[in-house]
Structure 1
């Protein structure tokens, strides 16, 4: 199999069979691309660059089926560059050398090359460096496509030489346009009731290519009348919503769940929790993250929150799926409605920072044990006040290093159980001031 498609957009291959609907509907001009007006509209970022003659190497970042490959092809057509397409999945270093050598020959003859690299994030950082000299000397105009966050997947040198353009997931209006275009190409409407048509669009989950593949299947059916939503679902296996448990979608959804809990919105929290489960997330991962939310965002404002999460986790381990997931859902609701405080979290981080900066300071001698005579002679334990013998069970003595000013890490909030803790803290501080006075 030839790994490289070096054909020009205006030199189509000879057909070897019926062309898929998605290929037949491929836009012929950038203005025909649907759903990316923020890039290709009159004031879109890419259109402005083209009109100014200031096109740079690009990274097209977006979900599957939104037009990354099509836009790259049409860019080459619009600015008269030879189009070369490779995939990082199938291309190795020897193959890249051949691509660069061919591009150099074209460059020497006055012909530029637009090199489109699909799944560019699959190249490791060293391989990505291999593009740099050819970008800098004008041998290639690089257009990379990725579904992953370039900030995490591409090295800084490549990112500094290319502009990242974000492609949007296709919305309902854009998908409706695709269906309408498909019906014109097919010369007949789809045999679907209006609600089934909506369901079909929902199944595509923002992926235009997937939608056209579904349309092609539906159009091939021999049916009487119009199909209902249930009949459509019975004939089609509904495509699961896009969710990569190791990719950015995973982190985006857990962030949405965490922030919904922190924002005390149980409905939104349940929605993102359900989205992750529907996407195949491991419930044990969710149980761990829920427990983390309890200790970070609730903590001592409601000490029962952590216990509730641990109990829900243990219940899931005993029941498994799907019954045990209800226990985790209950924990989601409890956390969302619990009083919030990050005072313990803030205090912990402040204490760690202080420990790093004063890590060599010894404890004051009066709180050190003196198991030997020599240690007693050196003053270990001298002057220690046993708090149980003090008035109110509180001596107020210093427990920080002698050279360190007393800090105040923990600042409880006036919410939940921390209201009581704040009263205790203030009471102890009053006694401490009294002892000092």
Structure 2
């Protein structure tokens, strides 16, 4: 799994001959890990645990190349735990049983174990449940790493016993720090122009190990003169974003594209799209941002925006470059000229916040399914108003938990299709109040 690195050799001895650059740069202490200061700093969750000398079970959630494995290894060193690492890709039930038995024996001898599980989301639900008794009785302190959303991929029981910490993708400053460390340990600078250096950092897309692997390639070959972005992309066989003389980078351009779309300027939007694609930006990255924009900034004002952007992605997959890039331009222009609304985005944020605050309140019994006799006997489904049988297809029933007042998250604008939605919601609200719905 990808990690972050320091220029010093690892704590267990000097680097071995032929070791990859990434291994030679592996940190020896948590304060040497770059890009994750929100966790490892004095006020971060990990920093506080280390200061207290007590480590809880953790789930480290973040993209590849951001230091999850290294953080786990250094955590074990920092609090004096025995470190054991397995990968869910290559391990099964027999491996887990053996590890648990060894951890229990070590615990009897006074040595607790930090079990690091890489790609923990790849274990099935039953395997995940197998960790629970050993976490609960303190046989192991579990640290799992995942690139997937734990809410969807991990059991609720396991999540309730572990703290989820978000490991961030590395920003440009963190990646540039890694380049500096690599140059320090090699004793020479990279053979790149300033623009190519920025392009190399952008091409890593937040992945520290990928960046260092590319750096190792550059150091391993003879290069007569500093490479510009075009020559760098050709050498590494990877499309690298080109930055113009003003050095406007990857994130500046995607920000400019997003804000031009939001401002309903189709020409400026198309210009920044062209800037990114002609510079060698990955089309699928741009498409991901357009799909996000369709929901965040247009939403129900024109739901076809989401359909069009997804169709553009399918078209690009089907046609490839350069033919498929016309579909991306098509989607870009559609988004720029569509009516704008962030009502769905605001509603989602409000609903998520309310859900976290209200915990696990039960829905009213009348709208619960009752597949068994017992559930029917205790009132599940009793008194449910079937809306299709009501006049106008609207019963006006209350669907909120008894402990909550009805909430209002979604406030449609008067733009695009949302104007009609707003009228419909107003009519239903009037019916709920017992008035004339119109």
Output the TM-score relative to the length of structure 1. Answer: 0.64
Distance verdict in 2 for CA 1:260–1:138, change over 3 Å: farther
Deviation at 1:413, TM superposition (A): 6.2
Deviation at 1:415, TM superposition (A): 4.0
- Equivalent pair of 1:294/1:309 in contact (CA under 8 Å): no
Matches of 1:421 and 1:134 in 2, distance apart?
A: 52
Residue by residue over 1:246-296, the C-alpha shift from the partner in whole angstroms, topping out at 9 and shown as x without a partner, is: xxxxxxxxxxx999978857677986x9888435979xx97xx979x9893
Structure 2 SS opposite 1:89: coil
Matches of 1:75 and 1:320 in 2, distance apart?
A: 48
In the alignment, what sits opposite 2:389? 361
Matches of 1:414 and 1:330 in 2, distance apart?
A: 26
Matches of 1:170 and 1:360 in 2, distance apart?
A: 52
- Equivalent pair of 1:76/1:114 in contact (CA under 8 Å): yes
Distance verdict in 2 for CA 1:10–1:316, change over 3 Å: closer
Distance verdict in 2 for CA 1:217–1:170, change over 3 Å: same
- Equivalent pair of 2:298/2:341 in contact (CA under 8 Å): no
Matches of 1:416 and 1:142 in 2, distance apart?
A: 50
- Equivalent pair of 2:175/2:201 in contact (CA under 8 Å): yes
In the alignment, what sits opposite 1:238? 238
Matches of 2:119 and 2:198 in 1, distance apart?
A: 31
Matches of 2:88 and 2:220 in 1, distance apart?
A: 34
Larger Rg: 1
Structure 1 SS opposite 2:144: strand
In the alignment, what sits opposite 1:23? 23
Matches of 1:123 and 1:81 in 2, distance apart?
A: 24
Aligned partner (choices 242, 260, 284) of residue 278 of structure 1: 284
- Equivalent pair of 1:260/1:336 in contact (CA under 8 Å): yes
In the alignment, what sits opposite 1:190? 190
Distance verdict in 2 for CA 1:155–1:227, change over 3 Å: same
Residue by residue over 1:21-68, the C-alpha shift from the partner in whole angstroms, topping out at 9 and shown as x without a partner, is: 111111111111111111112222210122123320011111111111
Deviation at 1:230, TM superposition (A): 2.2
1:22-61 mapped onto 2 (5 Å cutoff): 22-61=22-61
1:176-187 mapped onto 2 (5 Å cutoff): 176-187=176-187
Deviation at 1:199, TM superposition (A): 1.7
Matches of 1:418 and 1:34 in 2, distance apart?
A: 45
In the alignment, what sits opposite 1:252? none
Residue by residue over 1:203-227, the C-alpha shift from the partner in whole angstroms, topping out at 9 and shown as x without a partner, is: 2221111111111111111122322
In the alignment, what sits opposite 2:301? 297
Deviation at 1:89, TM superposition (A): 0.1
Distance verdict in 2 for CA 1:218–1:44, change over 3 Å: same
Q: Which runs of 5+ in 2 are unaligned?
A: 1-9, 242-256, 348-366, 368-383, 398-410, 427-438
- Of 224-233 and 22-31, the range deviating more from structure 2: 224-233
Deviation at 1:73, TM superposition (A): 0.8
- Equivalent pair of 1:290/1:332 in contact (CA under 8 Å): no
Structure 1 SS opposite 2:143: strand
Structure 2 SS opposite 1:176: helix
Matches of 1:223 and 1:14 in 2, distance apart?
A: 26
1:45-124 mapped onto 2 (5 Å cutoff): 45-124=45-124
Matches of 1:333 and 1:422 in 2, distance apart?
A: 26
Deviation at 1:340, TM superposition (A): 4.8
In the alignment, what sits opposite 1:368? none
Deviation at 1:329, TM superposition (A): 3.0
Matches of 1:37 and 1:58 in 2, distance apart?
A: 17
In the alignment, what sits opposite 1:323? 323
Q: Size of the alignment, in residue pairs? A: 341
Query: RMSD between aligned alpha carbons?
Result: 4.7
In the alignment, what sits opposite 1:170? 170
In the alignment, what sits opposite 1:385? none
- Equivalent pair of 1:290/1:331 in contact (CA under 8 Å): no
- Equivalent pair of 1:59/1:163 in contact (CA under 8 Å): yes
1:393-432 mapped onto 2 (5 Å cutoff): 414-415=414-415
Structure 2 SS opposite 1:323: coil
Distance verdict in 2 for CA 1:316–1:24, change over 3 Å: closer
In the alignment, what sits opposite 1:211? 211
Matches of 1:26 and 1:328 in 2, distance apart?
A: 40
- Equivalent pair of 1:298/1:342 in contact (CA under 8 Å): no
Distance verdict in 2 for CA 1:142–1:132, change over 3 Å: same
Structure 2 SS opposite 1:357: coil
Deviation at 1:357, TM superposition (A): 2.8
Output the TM-score relative to the length of structure 2. Answer: 0.64
